[in-house]
Amino acid sequence: MLWNTLLLALRAIRRNLMRSFLTILGIVIGIAAVVTLVTLGNGATRSVSDQIAAMGTNQLMVVPGQRFGPGSELGAPSFKIADVDAMRAQITSARGIAPVVSKAVTAVNQTHAWSTQVTGTNDEYFLAGNWEMAAGRSFSDTEERAGKAVCVIGETVRDKLFGRESPMGSEIRLKGFSCEVIGLLKSKGQAAMGQDQDDTVVMPLRTVQRRLSGSQDIGRIMVSVAQGVSMDAIKLQLTSLLRERRKIGESEDDDFRVMDTRQLAETLTGTTRILTMLLGAVAAVSLLVGGIGIMNIMLVSVTERTREIGIRLAIGAFEREVLLQFLIEAVVLSGIGGLLGIALATGASIGLAGLMDVPYLFDPGINLLSLLFSAAIGVIFGFFPARRAASLNPIDALRYE
């Protein structure tokens, strides 16, 4: 009986091809929107975590306050150079410890101007950040200690200020002073949150503190851990050292955070995940509208369907057979809609993922969920009008205008 009824349902769909198509169009678009947005969101999340992983698993970031982000928290003092020196003295298993002070500045040479990020640090920064030199050299101890106006520039800054010329030995002006370009960094490309990592100027910490930030504060400290050394051990050492230096009592919480790349990834991917959910929710609204479209068409066609039900009942169909036919019809129809939507979403996701430079990730969960959802819409909006009609007396159903 099931096979028979399935055939009846398929036949009914085929002979009402246009109506069937219009009915499922809303579902197709709704499913496609939801699946595409969630898939792209997942891709973006993956891309963020991939790039953080590319930074290496051997990095720790020490920031003041318990919150991650720009600016320091109220009541959580910044680090000083003495903190860095203490770390260097006590944490011997670290491969490199680099203080970081960042400042947004406009860099100018004779012909061009470019707004960029200046980082004040020491030469271990390049080691800790996995930077390689494309040309020139890093700054020397003497230059560091003296706070000399020398800088190493990123590929983007070189391109914007010097074009095809070699930057080595040239001067660039930052606010009120000039500095000599002594090195060029190898390109790293876009970072996790989309900012350009090559858009950077690196110079000695003291130079930045003295000439740009005007304070002794250090925004964060990067610690690179040697291979084979336990991250947790270093984290513990850093924490106890800092608690001691910052005079935090036994019962008080830390006023700083030591994060490894995994925690950093979690913090950042958490943001994209929320965005993905938000977009998915917006798309779900369109799916709901699609469902209302189905309901509308089903109700409009109910006159014709009611007569059909009357005919089938009169010539000897059981009420149950007619109902089952309509149920299968509704499920098959919205199932086809769901499949078409998923196909459309797959195409759109692959295309858009390429454009947006995020990986395409097939997510079986969201695909299955949207299929089930479309089937449910079919049952609710297609089946219930039919059930009402099938419960009519065949005579009334035949007379239904």
Site of interaction with another protein (CB under 8 A): 1, 4, 7-8, 11, 15-16, 304, 307-308, 310-319, 321, 393-395, 398
Residue closer to another protein by CB (options 14, 164) is 14
3-class SS at 179? strand
Residue closer to another protein by CB (options 108, 311) is 311
CB of 317 to another protein, least distance (A): 5
Residue closer to another protein by CB (options 143, 308) is 308
Q: Does residue 116 contact residue 199 with C-beta atoms inside 8 Å?
A: yes
- Amino acid (one-letter) located at 141: D
Residue closer to another protein by CB (options 123, 308) is 308
Q: Which among 142, 149, 151 is positioned nearest to 176, based on CA atoms?
A: 149
**DSSP calls for 89-136:** HH-TTEEEEEEEEEEEEEEE-SS-EEEEEEEEE-THHHHHTT--EEEE
Q: Does residue 22 contact residue 344 with C-beta atoms inside 8 Å?
A: no
Q: Rounded to whole angstroms, how far apart are CA atoms 341 and 291?
A: 13
CB of 8 to another protein, least distance (A): 7
CB of 315 to another protein, least distance (A): 5
Q: Does residue 190 contact residue 184 with C-beta atoms inside 8 Å?
A: no
Q: Helix 364-378 and helix 319-356: axis angle, to 10°?
A: 150
Q: What is the CA 12 to chain-centroid distance, rounded?
A: 44
CB of 387 to another protein, least distance (A): 16
Residue closer to another protein by CB (options 44, 389) is 389
Residue closer to another protein by CB (options 7, 368) is 7
Q: Rounded to whole angstroms, how far apart are CA atoms 160 and 396?
A: 80
CB of 338 to another protein, least distance (A): 25
CB of 340 to another protein, least distance (A): 22
Residue closer to another protein by CB (options 295, 317) is 317
Residue closer to another protein by CB (options 226, 395) is 395
Q: Which among 16, 34, 12, 14 is positioned nearest to 377, based on CA atoms?
A: 34
CB of 15 to another protein, least distance (A): 4
Q: Rounded to whole angstroms, how far apart are CA atoms 22 and 109?
A: 62
CB of 18 to another protein, least distance (A): 10
User: Which uninterrupted H or E stretch holds 183?
Assistant: strand 177-185
